[in-house]
Amino acid sequence: MNVTQWILPLAAWVLAPLMLGIINRVKAKFAGRRGQPLLQLYYDLFKLLRKGSVYSRSTSLVLRVAPSVSLACMFLATTLLPWGGLSAPVAFAGDIILLAYLLGLARFVTVLAALDTGSAFEGMGASREVQFGALAEPAFFLGLLVLVLQSETLSLSSIMSELSAATWQSSAILLVLVAFSWFVLLLTENSRIPVDDPNTHLELTMIHEVMVLDYSGPDFAYILYGASLKLWVFAALVVNLLVPMASLPVWTQIPLFVLGIGIVAVLVGVVESILARLRLYQVPKILIGSAALSLIALIVKLMD
């Protein structure tokens, strides 16, 4: 096993919470505030890990196990991510299907934990989460088909290493369409504006945040950390698409990749600052729209 391959998962585990710091900083700048420290999430995590916890009397084992399962899924998901020319620590044909289903498993246990509390608000969040999840999955897989068609390989690592400067010259439109479609998924899956507002103060309108209302202490730390890893996973996919790193020297790839992730975080912050939240009824439309973008990319690819 190649040690350098583990740099990326390690980077993800260490740097992922920083992304949320960057997003919040960008939002604060837009609003003319100073904003919280960049490392705020790290402080939060350490504080939560040292705390005790409170459980609802309604809950069962499911609520207690869910954070560990969902965090384990996210850890495994980061080991499937390649960067540039280097393959991921774990790579095999069809690994991307496993990646999608690991995220699915994490969602499944989180939804169950929300229903475990018996709270109407958390049930509401769970119901919305499964709705958007069901619509996001086809969009993700259609985007993937474009890349498989483009690279003629089946593993995420080889797909991404096939993307080079030459690919950009020949089929830039495909990459842009898929990247945009996946960026929309990034916003949806990580409950950012315009789909969900992580900072809202009204439980009625939340999706993801309302599902974890009854968590406290180390459990909540697991959940927050897992959420930041999930954001990293999606950002890494988008960066891999947009930066043809395979054609650059290896020593520039690591900083470039991390920089790319930072830029995605800034982008998310900008989107959150300039867009309003959509009505819930509108969300399925943008998800179907993002699936349509990938479908268009497929058709474009077939035409030439």
Count of residues that interact with other proteins, criterion CB under 8 A: 83
The full length of the chain comes to 304
State which of positions 282-301 bind other proteins (CB under 8 A): 284, 291, 295, 298
Token pair in block for residue 211? 């599902």
Q: Does residue number 168 form part of the binding site for other proteins (CB under 8 A)?
A: no
Q: With CB under 8 A as the contact rule, which of the stretches 97-105, 234-242, 249-257, 265-273 interacts with other proteins?
A: 97-105
Q: Does residue number 148 form part of the binding site for other proteins (CB under 8 A)?
A: yes
Eight-state DSSP code of residue 85: T
Q: How far is the CB of 252 from other proteins (least distance, A)?
A: 30
- 3-class secondary structure, 83: strand
Among 137, 189, 196, 209, binds other proteins (CB under 8 A): 137
Q: How far is the CB of 11 from other proteins (least distance, A)?
A: 19
Q: Identify which of residues 25 and 208 has a Cβ nearer to other proteins in the complex.
A: 208
CB 216 within 8 A of CB 47: no
Q: How far is the CB of 36 from other proteins (least distance, A)?
A: 24
Q: Nearest-5° angle of CA 186, CA 126, CA 264? A: 15
Adjacent-strand bridge partners of 83: 86
Among 7, 28, 100, 176, binds other proteins (CB under 8 A): 100
Q: With CB under 8 A as the contact rule, which of the stretches 15-23, 121-129, 177-185, 269-277 interacts with other proteins?
A: 121-129
Q: How far is the CB of 237 from other proteins (least distance, A)?
A: 16
CB 186 within 8 A of CB 30: no
Q: Does residue number 149 form part of the binding site for other proteins (CB under 8 A)?
A: yes
State which of positions 56-95 bind other proteins (CB under 8 A): 56-62, 65, 67-69, 71-73, 75-76, 90, 92-95
State which of positions 233-272 bind other proteins (CB under 8 A): none
Q: How many CB atoms lie within 10 A of CB 260?
A: 20
Listed in sequence order, the residues at least 6 apart from 72 whose beta carbon sits closer than 8 Å to its beta carbon are: none
Q: For other proteins, what does the binding mask look like between residues 212 and 231, x meaning CB under 8 A?
A: -xx--xxx--x---------
Q: Does residue number 13 form part of the binding site for other proteins (CB under 8 A)?
A: no
Q: Does residue number 128 form part of the binding site for other proteins (CB under 8 A)?
A: yes
For 242, how many CA atoms within 13 A lie in the half-sphere containing its CB? 20
Among 5, 78, 119, 190, binds other proteins (CB under 8 A): 119
Question: Which residue, among 50, 302, 293, has the nearest Cα to 184 in the 3D structure?
Answer: 293
d(CA 226, CA 110): 11
Q: With CB under 8 A as the contact rule, which of the stretches 105-113, 187-195, 241-249, 251-259 interacts with other proteins?
A: 105-113
Largest Cα separation within the chain, whole Å, is 61
Q: Identify which of residues 3 and 202 has a Cβ nearer to other proteins in the complex.
A: 202
Tell me the torsion sign for CA atoms 145, 299, 291, 21: positive
Token pair in block for residue 228? 């930041």
